[in-house]
Amino acid sequence: MIQPVVAIHGGAGTMSRASISPEQEREYLDALNQILAAAQAVLARGGSALDAVTEAVTRLEDCPLFNAGHGAVYTSAGTHELDASIMDGATLRSGAIANVNCVRNPVLAARCVMENSKHVFFVGQGAEAFAREQGLEIVDPSYFSTPARYEQLLRVQREQPGAAVLDHDGQAMVAGMQPAAAPIDPDRKFGTVGAVALDAQGNLAAATSTGGVTNKQVGRVGDAPLIGAGCYASNATCAVSTTGTGEMFIRMVASYDVAAQMEYRGATLEEAAHSVVHDKLPRIGGKGGLIAVDGQGNVSLTFNTEGMYRGHARVGEAPVAAIYR
């Protein structure tokens, strides 16, 4: 009998443990546990893996602690550009959107693309128009802004002019930077959220959403909305959602590579995830991690950074969340 399971991530990166209070750490763990519990409840009542990952990522987008939806980081122009993708392992149907700035929950728009259009990927104004046609909630771009993210932009522009904060590996930034008020330093964090799930029918699904990287060039798109790079699901192998240096995950087709290693060389889920995250990505400077689940309910939460916001919940068991190694 299949035991349904859901796993989530809220980004990976460099730890700032020295500047964190137990209360701040608990805030992140509580958020992860609450989101896991909500997605777990979907599976417990017989809901689909698609519904579970949609529930999880929608809630991650609504939580300002994470870089997706409300709380998304700023571009170099002081704007927001949000991306998301979703994939159904049973049918290989998928949907994605990129560079939107008024759709409250990008993952819902990605799901509408998958279910209600003949296409896979919409961007920019076309994606926003499609979301409006689908009756999704449209918000003023200021909805995504938070004071903490704006200060983060100003700090990066002041200390590292011209840099898109993406691939720092733990060296301290310029002296005088204010300590990060998060367990993972927001200035050295790969900010993506995602979820993967296995339901009682044996179907898999994955979804990924992001606000991009702080101070990125306008129009840049990372791996999060790209099927096969930041998101992939097939009942034949596994469901995967990634977080990290997007350009490197794109070049490695990282999420599909996990599935391909399982299918073509008979690797287990953990062997395939380890190969991608610890062997292949580092060869080109790829940092970050991924979450994955296979059809037997095996879960992998694998990362090559100092930490990753992550957790999983099996139906009938208490959710488990973690930040550090």
71-88: burial string, b at 16+ Cβ within 10 Å, e else: bbbbbbeeebbbbbbbbb
> Which residues are known binding-site members?
220-223, 243-246
Report how far residue 229's alpha carbon sits from residue 249's, in angstroms, rounded to the nearest whole number.
6
Q: Which amino acid is at 148?
A: A
Catalytic, 79? Answer no
Which residue has 């999880």 as its token pair?
56
Q: Which of 14, 54, 192, 242 is catalytic?
A: 192
Of residues 50, 28, 26, the one with CA closest to residue 39: 50
Instruction: Specify the residue for token string 């100092």.
Output: 306
Closest-CA residue to 111 (of 9, 209, 39): 209
Binding residues for substrate are 220-223, 243-246
> Using an 8 Å Cβ cutoff, are 261 and 252 in contact?
no
Cβ pair 232, 258 in contact under 8 A: yes
**Count of CB atoms situated within 10 Å of the CB of 129:** 11
CB 243 within 8 A of CB 190: yes
Catalytic positions, written as ranges: 192
